[in-house]
């Protein structure tokens, strides 16, 4: 090893003095790349904030009502926790081509329309390319300034001189600091650049959006490396082949996480999807076995989704199981519960379980609907299309209660459903709070569900 170099995992940023095949941090293979060692700078104090470290009492800290700048995109505002906070450093991650630049350019447009001072700094596209994109989105006002630059020292100068309210950096992987000898996109460059931007955001009170590409191959450092440095982490996800995109809050120092925003990519930019349930249930088959609608809670928001199962006799030695949009192991567990507790011979069957619409859900409240879809396909019985089913299923085949059942039932009612199958424990609570305008059935175990279906 040459002197003055270290090895970084390109996935999680784990630092090591020697090369390793597997990263001890994130357990990924072949992610270590040799980089020049970052220069050690003396002391870590934020310059310009204070001269001496002076402790203050909690009660002496004055709290101003946090002013939030609205992006005029409701879906985004909700994920941010109500809008942009001055001085916040926000990371927008996602696969290349998912629509990060488009979303942020639309944010620029809205902020400029509301007479905010915005600067869009791009290291990926030329001014002409940005203009072309802007033309697709709509008319822009003059308060938006553009800059094509990748040298962070330059950017720092410009931002300090102009002091815009909001800055957008697209993308962090193209930025470099002259003092770091590693290539742009490497772990040390990405870290150093984010550090500089954080300093700018905190000392000048500028809200900064950072775009970060998620990469699997580990050629450039992923946004995971900087998750802990920024205030807010948003991930933009979605199926490449579907037109809608989901913006998910993963970390938020100024609001709650788990909130999602739903968008649809159109010819003239991203449009908000205000009623995702309708969107997700679009094209649902009528009178087909193996199709069940459930309600999942994403943050504060209930969303109806359709779960489909296909169970058929296997022609393989080991039956095939595949899932889309759900945890594979969870589905295997539910199939095992059905086999043991409801006496269904699933061991000789292939099972395919999909969440349609391309959503990804990890909430256990969809268990009961998965079970219902599997039973429906196995027995070839149709679940009434105006019924929604939710509840968590335990290993003994019991159906456990879920949070905020009332909210889910309301959403189902709003979407024109007439019957809800819910956990027994939730049922009692719902009835105690007054009867809802929709038929509610409580089940205590999966065997009971088999009878109802
Ligand atoms: P982009 O914002 O460039 O992605 P990212 O910055 O995350 O890499 O999105 C590019 C994709 O979006 C591209 O495939 C074209 C498509 N697109 C539209 O469909 N409509 C539009 O109005 C725009 C601007 C882009
Ligand atoms: Mg882009």
For the domain that residue 97 is a member of, what is the CATH number?
3.40.50.300
Q: What pLDDT is stored for residue 3 in this prediction?
A: 64
Beta bridge partners of 92: 211, 234
What is the full DSSP assignment across 29-92? Answer: BS-EEEEEPPPPPS--PPTTT-SS-----GGG---PPPPEE--S-HHHHHHHTSSEETT-EEEE
158 and 212 together in one domain: yes
What's the longest Cα–Cα distance across the chain? 74
Cβ < 6 Å from ligand 1: which residues?
A: 94, 96-102, 133, 136, 265, 267-269
End-to-end CA distance of the chain: 66
Cα 201 to ligand 1 centroid, rounded to whole Å:
27
User: Could you give phi then psi for residue 23, rounded to 5 degrees?
Assistant: -75, 125
Closest atom of ligand 1 relative to the 136 alpha carbon: 22
Q: What pLDDT is stored for residue 451 in this prediction?
A: 87
Closest Cα partner for 437 from 405, 410, 415? 410
Q: Give the number of C-alpha atoms closer than 13 A to the C-alpha of residue 176, restricted to the C-beta side.
A: 12
What is the pTM for the complete model shown? 0.78
Q: What pLDDT is stored for residue 223 in this prediction?
A: 66
Residue 339 lies in a domain: yes
Of 273, 300, 324, the domain-final residue: 273
DSSP-derived 3-state class of residue 199: helix
Cα 98 to ligand 1 centroid, rounded to whole Å:
6
Q: Please, which residues have CB within 8 angstroms of residue 412's CB and are 6 or more apart in sequence?
A: 295, 304, 388, 420, 438
Q: Rounded distance, CA 131 to CA 325, Å?
A: 36
* Number of domains forming the structure of the chain: 3
Beta bridge partners of 400: 392
Q: What pLDDT is stored for residue 1 in this prediction?
A: 44
Tokens standing for residue 46 = 């934020």
Closest Cα partner for 390 from 443, 311, 326? 443
Ligand closest to Cα of 238 equals: 1
pLDDT (tens place) for every residue of the chain, 453 residues total: 456 788 888 877 888 888 989 988 888 888 888 887 766 554 454 444 556 788 888 888 777 767 889 999 999 999 998 899 999 999 998 888 889 999 999 999 999 999 999 999 999 999 999 989 988 888 888 778 899 999 999 999 999 999 999 999 998 989 998 888 888 888 888 888 999 999 999 999 999 999 998 866 544 566 677 888 899 999 888 777 777 888 988 889 988 887 888 899 888 889 998 888 888 888 888 889 999 999 998 877 889 999 999 999 998 889 999 999 899 999 999 999 999 998 899 989 999 999 987 788 889 999 999 999 999 999 999 999 999 999 999 999 999 999 989 989 988 998 889 999 999 999 988 888 877 888 999 999 999 998 888
CA torsion through residues 338, 341, 342, 345, sign: positive
DSSP-derived 3-state class of residue 302: strand
Of 220, 243, 273, the domain-final residue: 273
Cα 137 to ligand 1 centroid, rounded to whole Å:
11
- Which chain residues have CB less than 5 Å from ligand 2, an ion? 101
Residue span of the structural domain in which 75 resides: 69-273
176 and 227 together in one domain: yes
């Amino acid at each position: 090893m040459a002197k003055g170099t270290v090895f970084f995992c390109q996935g999680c940023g784990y630092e090591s003095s020697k090369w390793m095949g597997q990263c001890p941090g994130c357990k990924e293979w072949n992610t270590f790349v040799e980089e020049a060692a970052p220069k050690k700078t003396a002391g870590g104090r934020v310059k310009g904030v204070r001269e001496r470290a002076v402790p203050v009492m909690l009660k002496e800290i004055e709290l101003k009502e946090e002013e939030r700048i609205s992006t005029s995109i409701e879906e985004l505002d909700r994920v941010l926790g109500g809008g942009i906070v001055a001085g916040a450093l926000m990371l927008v991650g996602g696969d290349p081509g998912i629509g990060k630049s488009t979303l942020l350019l639309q944010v620029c447009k809205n902020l400029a329309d509301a007479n905010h001072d915005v600067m869009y700094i791009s290291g990926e596209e030329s001014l002409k390319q940005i203009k072309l994109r802007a033309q697709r989105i709509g008319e822009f006002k003059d308060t938006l300034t553009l800059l094509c630059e990748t040298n962070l020292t330059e950017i720092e100068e410009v931002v300090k001189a102009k002091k815009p309210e909001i800055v957008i950096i697209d993308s962090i992987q193209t930025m470099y600091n002259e003092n770091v000898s590693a290539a742009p996109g490497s772990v040390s460059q990405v870290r150093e650049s984010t550090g500089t931007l954080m300093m700018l955001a905190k000392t000048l009170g500028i809200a900064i959006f950072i775009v970060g590409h998620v990469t699997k191959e580990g050629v450039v450092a992923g946004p995971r490396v900087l998750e802990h440095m920024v205030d807010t982490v948003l991930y933009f996800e979605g199926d490449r082949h579907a037109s809608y995109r989901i913006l998910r809050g993963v970390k938020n120092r100024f609001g709650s996480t788990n909130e999602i925003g739903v968008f649809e990519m159109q010819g003239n930019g991203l449009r908000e999807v205000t009623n995702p349930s309708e969107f997700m249930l679009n094209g649902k088959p009528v009178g087909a076995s193996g199709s069940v609608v459930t309600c999942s809670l994403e943050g504060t928001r209930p969303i109806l989704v359709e779960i489909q199962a296909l169970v058929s006799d296997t022609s393989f030695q080991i039956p095939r199981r595949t899932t889309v949009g759900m945890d594979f192991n969870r589905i295997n567990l539910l199939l095992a519960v059905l086999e043991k507790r409801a006496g269904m011979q699933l061991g000789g069957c292939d099972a395919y379980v999909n969440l349609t619409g391309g959503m990804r859900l990890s909430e256990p409240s969809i268990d009961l609907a998965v079970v219902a879809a599997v039973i429906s396909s196995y027995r070839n019985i149709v679940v009434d299309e105006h019924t929604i089913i939710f509840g968590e299923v335990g290993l003994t085949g019991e159906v456990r209660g879920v949070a905020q059942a009332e909210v889910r039932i309301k959403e189902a009612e709003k979407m024109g459903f007439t019957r809800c199958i819910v956990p027994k424990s939730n049922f009692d609570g719902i009835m105690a709070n007054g009867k809802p305008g929709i038929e509610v059935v409580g089940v205590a175990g999966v065997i009971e569900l088999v009878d109802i279906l």
